[in-house]
Amino acid sequence: MAFGGAEGVEYETATGRRAARGAPWSMRRREAVAGYLFIAPDAIGLAIFAALPMLLALGLGFYEVDGFGGYRFAGLANYRRMFLDPLFLQSLRVTLFYVLMLVPSLYVVGLGLALLAQRRSRISGLVRSLFFLPQMVSLVVVALVWQVLLVDKIGPVNRLMSLVGLGGLSWLGDPDLALASVVVVSLWFLMGFYMLIFLGGLQDIPREYYEAAWLDGANPIRAFFHITLPLLRTTSFFVLLVATVTAVAGGQAFDLIYVMTKGGPANSTELTIYYIYQQAFQYNEFGYAAAMATTLVAILLAFTFLLFRITRGGRFE
């Protein structure tokens, strides 16, 4: 529809074509106009629904918003409040622990599964699909299914664990265990994705390197540490960055927490993104929530910057 205009300026006749060829400048202009028109819908959409909210979050953080939609400029009050809010600080701690538990295990499990599934055999395709299958299911379903599995006393996981004498644990009800349980469920869901990323990285390593190592008498373990790991640097960088960013600010963790624990017990699974959501949509603290979101983004940007500096742009040199 938007291109009726662009269509209108086309030169459909032979004279028009000749004219256009004779005047390359106008042809270039025609191309530029078409380019802008083609890109306009997406550019405007992204500006309104991605860039603008980011700027709004920045601005909204300086306002106090009451329950009736009234806005009052509050300066740095929201930011001051944040650092005195024990629940916010607790949520940062929970987020940190979540990242520290989840990201390394994703790295190890993702790479391990990729190494297992990489070998060419009749069943390797099936094995990959099986590992990847949890990714297809929504986080809400994942959370519900695991809630049943982790039910106290009579749930299947507890029945299984009772065989080794650990039957009485309350996986989602014990503040010392709940976050670890959420990490296990996140790991189960995400590992197939990182397996695929590692498979892509492994594919790019020339086979000759392994053959040379084999001829030199290196065993597979040495080959792994001297060839595979060093050559997976770029992939590793990507995995660490993406896994961390999604653990801190991705929707996946939110979905799991919302359905499985609601941040409890005793705020032990209260991730910052979940706390922000609660403040905004349960307590109507829009300004405060926006200030916390802005802070979270600042922390993430600092982390990304640091990771780039340490690894010299992901090259680990």
Q: Which of 76, 100, 133, 306 binds another protein (CB under 8 A)?
A: 133
State the nearest-atom distance from the C-beta of 10 to another protein, in Å: 3
Give the phi and the psi of residue 3 in degrees, each rounded to 5: -105, 5
Query: Any contact of residue 43 with another protein (CB under 8 A)?
Result: yes
Q: Which of 76, 96, 100, 137 binds another protein (CB under 8 A)?
A: 137
Q: The tokens 């916010």 sit on which residue?
A: 88
Query: Any contact of residue 306 with another protein (CB under 8 A)?
Result: no
Q: Pick the piece of the chain touching another protein (CB under 8 A) from 86-94, 165-173, 237-245, 306-314.
A: 237-245
Q: Which of 76, 87, 100, 145 binds another protein (CB under 8 A)?
A: 145
Query: Any contact of residue 39 with another protein (CB under 8 A)?
Result: yes
Strand partners, 63: 73
Give the phi and the psi of residue 72 in degrees, each rounded to 5: -135, 130
Q: Show the DSSP H helices in the chain as ranges.
A: 4-8, 14-22, 24-46, 52-60, 77-84, 86-118, 124-132, 139-149, 156-162, 178-203, 207-215, 220-223, 229-231, 233-249, 251-260, 272-281, 286-311
Query: Any contact of residue 53 with another protein (CB under 8 A)?
Result: yes
HSE-CB of 214 using CA atoms within 13 angstroms: 6
Q: The tokens 């600042």 sit on which residue?
A: 298
Nearer to another protein, 176 or 188 (CB): 188
State the nearest-atom distance from the C-beta of 242 to another protein, in Å: 8
Per-residue binding letters, 266-295, with another protein (x by CB under 8 A): -------x--xx--xx----x--xx--x--
Residue 117, token pair as written in the block? 């599934």
State the nearest-atom distance from the C-beta of 302 to another protein, in Å: 13
314: left (phi over 0), alpha (psi -120 to 50) or beta: left
Q: Which of 23, 45, 108, 315 binds another protein (CB under 8 A)?
A: 45
State the nearest-atom distance from the C-beta of 156 to another protein, in Å: 7
Q: Which of 161, 180, 259, 307 binds another protein (CB under 8 A)?
A: 259
